[in-house]
Amino acid sequence: MSNRLQQRFAECAEQNRAALVTYICAGDPGYDASLSLLQQLPGAGADIIELGMPFSDPMADGPTIQAAAVRALDNGQTQRKTLEMVRAFRATDQTTPLVLMGYYNPIHRYGAEAFLNEAHAAGVDGLLIVDLPAEHDNELGPMARDLGLDMIRMASPTTDAKRLPRVLANASGFLYYVSLNGVTGVGQADNAVVDAALAAIRQQSNLPICVGFGVRTPEQAAAFARTATGVVVGSALVEAMFKGGEAAALELTRGLAGAMQR
């Protein structure tokens, strides 16, 4: 399964562009609407999709994605329905990498082994569990790797040289670099500082590095695309969907995709 990520990054490298990684929250504003957007994102230029698993206490997310999670849960979205959404997506798209992003509590409640087996069978390529640091890799990591699921890790400006090797040790798929301290969708990073951090990470790892947090416009995305392997956009897309519907979200995606060329 993880070959989809490897293949997509290789394709982007051949085309001399960064990968556009788009985040949407499963079930926001409702199941059918989010599935429709999910199915159309690749055609609008999304290279990799992060599908958010809504949770009632998403502490790393800013107000936009918190509100999306509330809307999704209020509309009856569950872990089971999120996996159903992945299966529906895979019925028509076998090539776009899809990563489930979220928090450990809903997975623990579902049953870790059952969740991983069903995620693999549905066509998930990787997991990014925000509150499951590298130090707790044994919670999901061994089982996930046995199934071929990538465990994507996060690094940030506060990840020092002593901790970075632990973060990288069992990471696969790509490394998600948080461009600034705080929550998603708030603030803007200093590009020079991010570029220096990516250079330091690359001295220790060959993993693709995707930069996220605070990327809202094609102009901001283009600045990161010059040095990052990929650029993650979430809050801006969720907001576009909420305020302007599917058409607005897809228009933003097309604009962001055009900014990936180096």
Supply the CATH number for residue 242's domain: 3.20.20.70
Structural domain boundaries, residue 215 = 3-257
- State the pLDDT at residue 76: 97
> Residue 251 catalytic?
no
Average pLDDT of the chain to the nearest whole number: 94
Mean pLDDT to the nearest integer, 77-87: 98
pTM of the model: 0.95
Catalytic residue among 28, 61, 137, 150, which? 61
Per the structure, the count of domains in the chain is: 1
**Do the beta carbons of residue 151 and residue 100 sit within 8 Å?**
no
pLDDT band at 192 (very low <50, low <70, confident <90, very high): confident
Q: How confident is the model at residue 191 (pLDDT cuts 50, 70, 90)?
A: confident
pLDDT at position 61: 83
43 occurs within a structural domain: yes
- Residue 56 pLDDT greater than 50, yes or no: yes
- 229 within domain boundaries: yes
Residue 78 inside a domain? The answer is yes
Q: At what angle do helices 218-225 and 235-258 cross, to 10 degrees?
A: 60
Asked if residue 95 belongs to a domain, the reply is yes
Taking only the tens place, the pLDDT of each residue in 216-249 is 999 999 999 999 999 999 999 999 999 999 999 9
Is 211 contained in some domain?
yes
Domain contains 262: no
- Tell me the average pLDDT across 172-199: 78
The rounded distance, in Å, linking the Cα atoms of 142 and 1 is 16
Tell which residue, 181, 158, 184, 153, has the closest CA to residue 169. 153
The answer to whether position 221 is within a domain reads yes
d(CA 69, CA 146): 30
135 classed as catalytic? no
Helices (H), 111-261: 112-122, 141-147, 164-169, 191-202, 218-225, 235-258
Q: Which of 99-103, 107-111, 181-185, 206-210 has the lowest mean pLDDT?
A: 181-185
Write the pLDDT tens digit of every residue in 128-155. 999 999 999 999 999 999 999 999 999 9
Question: Closest Cα to residue 207, out of 165, 179, 259, 162?
Answer: 165
Whole-angstrom distance, CA of residue 123 vs CA of residue 185: 28
Q: Residue 186: what pLDDT?
A: 47
For the cut 60, the answer to whether the pLDDT of residue 1 exceeds it is no
| Residue in 50, 118, 150, 239 annotated catalytic | 50
